[in-house]
Amino acid sequence: MGSRGISIVGMDVNELVTILNKALSDEWLAHYQYWVGSKVVAGPMKDAVIAELVQHAAEEMGHAELLSTRIIQLGGTPVLTPEQWFKSTTCGYDAPEDPFVQAVLQQNIKGEQCAIGVYDQLMKLTKDADPVTYNMALQILEQEVEHEQDLQDLLDDLKIMLSRCHMSE
């Protein structure tokens, strides 16, 4: 660990590592929720939805990468077991038990809205205390906002399509 890099952090480093590990747990659960969702999802616009879910699964892994790198820089240890993900998570895990496109999109929108709250909080916490973590949280937050938008756009298109189908009946 870099002692000078840690010494500029103006807050309790152990507390910060705990918060970063909570976010890391969220990211792994989000990754799997997207990944397995892309495998089981069914219904209209399936191909477009799968493409977005697969992309988001990869991007959540990228967030896990950023968080674990920062945790190690701070002298911490990234969560070592999947069991810990469930103990540490803020946003939880929604199994895609209903594979219909609309249900899967709604579950993942809920997850993104939770993630946006997590990184907004992290930015507020680190604003004056840790510019490196703040900058990382901003990078992730920008992508979570994009994720929510991408899913909402798909859901809106799906609703238009379904309402047209009902009209033509």
Q: Given the rule CB under 5 A, which residues bind Fe ion?
A: 27, 60, 63, 144, 147
Name the binder of 144 from Fe ion, Mg ion, none, CB < 5-8 A by kind: Fe ion
150 in contact with Mg ion (CB under 5 A): yes
Q: Which letter, b or e, does each residue of 28-49 get, where b requires 16 or more Cβ atoms within 10 Å of its Cβ?
A: bbbbbbbbebbeebeeebeeeb
Nearer to Mg ion, 20 or 53 (CB): 53
Residues 6 or more apart whose Cβ sits within 8 Å of residue 103: 96
60 in contact with Mg ion (CB under 5 A): no
d(CA 97, CA 83): 21
Name the binder of 150 from Fe ion, Mg ion, none, CB < 5-8 A by kind: Mg ion
Residues 6 or more apart whose Cβ sits within 8 Å of residue 75: 1, 6, 13, 17
Smallest distance from Mg ion to CB 77, Å: 31
Nearer to Fe ion, 2 or 82 (CB): 82
Cβ 158 vs Cβ 44: under 8 Å: yes
* Paired residues of 42 in beta bridges: 100
26 in contact with Mg ion (CB under 5 A): no
Smallest distance from Mg ion to CB 146, Å: 6
Residues found near Mg ion in the complex (CB under 5 A): 55, 150
